[in-house]
Structure 1
Amino acid sequence: MFSLAVVPVRLHRSGQLIVTSTRVFESCILHLCFFLYAYIPSLRDHRLPINCIMFVKAFLTVAALTHAVQAHFGIDYPPWRNDSFEDPYNQRIAPCAGINATGMYNRTEWPLDGGSLVLDLHHPWTYVFVNLGLGTEVTTFNYTLTPNFLNVTGNGTFCLPKIQLPETLMPTDGQNASIQVVTSGASGAALYNCADIVFRSSANALTAGEDQCVNTTKSSTVIQDQSTLAQTSGDSNTNTTAGGDKPSAAVHGSSVPLTAAFTVLLAMVVASGLL
């Protein structure tokens, strides 16, 4: 008998691997190892610990690559509510990745006529639109700050120095609000993040080209008409949605990357001589 400690990994937005312990994952791997040992004669020569460790390493490598393919996005300014790459949050959960508002405190001051937004984008191209809701605990983001979608080409830092508020929106000094950013990339899935702000008459927007408001050289933006986007999205993926809650079964991603991961894993196992 032997003891094998197993921990799954996933990719953080900055690229490093985050190690998180999951008993369910450990149990599944151990059961699979014992299954292989029981039904594959070549494993019955006291090499089970070594073979199992090789198997686990192969699985974790494929899992990390799978998460890299499913990279999402972050809000650098105003600071997002929390790191939605961390459990138990998920960017596929509307309206704010499952993260509650910060309450009355820890809010970024925003000018009364609109402020800056800095995003960390991970896809080769991204559709971006920004909404806003008034209040401390926002449930409805009913003000659209991007009447037309932004089509951002290139990954990296993307800064909007000034997002002008609609003429009908006239916030007061000290009024709380929340910003919702929704993106959609090649997968067609909508991703959500939110940041909490407080409007201040003394607040200033970021200066383009300075401090946080610096676009990477790969980032460029064009305005995308919403009717064109709807037609394009409909042609490429009939399941594309611009808003609304995603069903819980779809929260943790597509089955296509998962299938690919297990296919690659099986190939690695065969190549290593386990089967």
Structure 2
Amino acid sequence: MARLTSLSSFLATTLALACGIQAHFTLDYPPPLGPVEDQSAGPCGGYTPDLSTVETTDFHVGGDAIAVSTGHPQNYWLYRITIDDDLTSANWTQVYPIVIQTGFDMYCQPAVTIPEEFEGQTAILSVVGHATDGLLYQCAAVQFVSGEGSRLESCSNHTDVDASFDNDAELASLVGDSQSEESGSPSSPTETPDGAAPSMYGSMQGLGCLVTATAMVLLAAGVTI
């Protein structure tokens, strides 16, 4: 009996770790910097980019897309930027009100604007998520250009995802200057047409947990026979 109890504890822990790891988020656009070794390590998930050497993506100051995919049922999102080479002491600028997302899978905000004084600058865009497992970080390298970005075909939300502006004290503590906070809902992102299926990221997360759970059940059955 003691052996079965120990086995059950081991299986539960393994399953929780497997599904918990998969519950982190990915930065889908702009392309993320990496490798990300530990998403809980700020400011860029354990990776320290060099602004003088990184490959950048054009980001339009008049409004451009930021897209993430998540395995958490609820997330708070902070978008912040810096042009400081020393990221350990960077003066981060918040560029959009903090958003609360409910529902798994992709969330895309298609028109995040940047203060015009940053036009022409190379910067690090840091996306910070706050969910049940704490603060999680990913970064992209961007070159701020004039105008508005074209609407990305991939900038869509799963039909079960909802988002609105909210406050989060831990995320707010990570920035210095910021755009004025608003209340209400973000401008409507592109909807996923006709109730389309979730993105591959979300589907693979669920499949990963299912495979792990199945393996654990089969292992337990083999031991108990």
TM category, shorter: 0.5 to 0.7
Tell me the amino acid that sits aligned with residue 46 of structure 2: G
Q: Which runs of 5+ in 2 are unaligned?
A: 175-215
Who is 1:20 aligned against? none
Who is 1:218 aligned against? 160
Who is 2:46 aligned against? 98
Equivalent positions of 1:40-55 (< 5 A) are none
What is the CA-CA distance between 1:164 and the residue it aligns to?
1.6
1:169-221 superposed Cα distances (whole Å, 9 cap, x missing partner)? 51232x2101111111134x1111111101123x74241xx522111111110
Tell me the amino acid that sits aligned with residue 200 of structure 1: V
The structure richer in strand per residue is 2
- Contact 2:81–2:92, Cα closer than 8 Å, also in 1: yes
- SS, match of residue 215 in structure 1: coil
Rounded to whole Å, the distance in 1 between the matches of 2:144 and 2:55 is 13
Identify the match of residue 181 of structure 1 among 121, 127, 150: 127
Rounded to whole Å, the distance in 1 between the matches of 2:160 and 2:221 is 40
Change (3 A) 1:120 1:165: same
Q: How many residues align?
A: 172
Rounded to whole Å, the distance in 2 between the matches of 1:67 and 1:83 is 20
Change (3 A) 1:160 1:270: closer
Provide TM-score, normalisation by structure 1: 0.54
State, as a whole percentage, how many aligned pairs show the same letter.
Answer: 22
Provide TM-score, normalisation by structure 2: 0.65
Rounded to whole Å, the distance in 2 between the matches of 1:138 and 1:113 is 25
- SS, match of residue 162 in structure 1: strand
- Contact 1:161–1:206, Cα closer than 8 Å, also in 2: no
Who is 1:142 aligned against? 92
Rounded to whole Å, the distance in 1 between the matches of 2:76 and 2:103 is 11
Change (3 A) 1:76 1:102: farther
- SS, match of residue 66 in structure 1: helix
Tell me the amino acid that sits aligned with residue 131 of structure 2: G
Rounded to whole Å, the distance in 2 between the matches of 1:118 and 1:193 is 12
Who is 2:67 aligned against? 118
- SS, match of residue 272 in structure 1: helix
What is the CA-CA distance between 1:165 and the residue it aligns to?
2.1
- Contact 1:73–1:119, Cα closer than 8 Å, also in 2: yes
Who is 1:164 aligned against? 113
Change (3 A) 1:186 1:206: farther
- Contact 1:119–1:158, Cα closer than 8 Å, also in 2: yes
Rounded to whole Å, the distance in 1 between the matches of 2:14 and 2:35 is 20
Who is 1:68 aligned against? 19
Identify the match of residue 107 of structure 1 among 46, 52, 56: 56
- SS, match of residue 63 in structure 1: helix
Rounded to whole Å, the distance in 2 between the matches of 1:196 and 1:137 is 14
What is the CA-CA distance between 1:67 and the residue it aligns to?
2.4
- SS, match of residue 218 in structure 1: coil
1:30-80 superposed Cα distances (whole Å, 9 cap, x missing partner)? xxxxxxxxxx9xxxxxxxxxxxxxx8xx96895354221341101010011
Equivalent positions of 1:23-62 (< 5 A) are none
Who is 1:205 aligned against? 149
Q: CA RMSD in A?
A: 3.1
Change (3 A) 1:206 1:220: farther
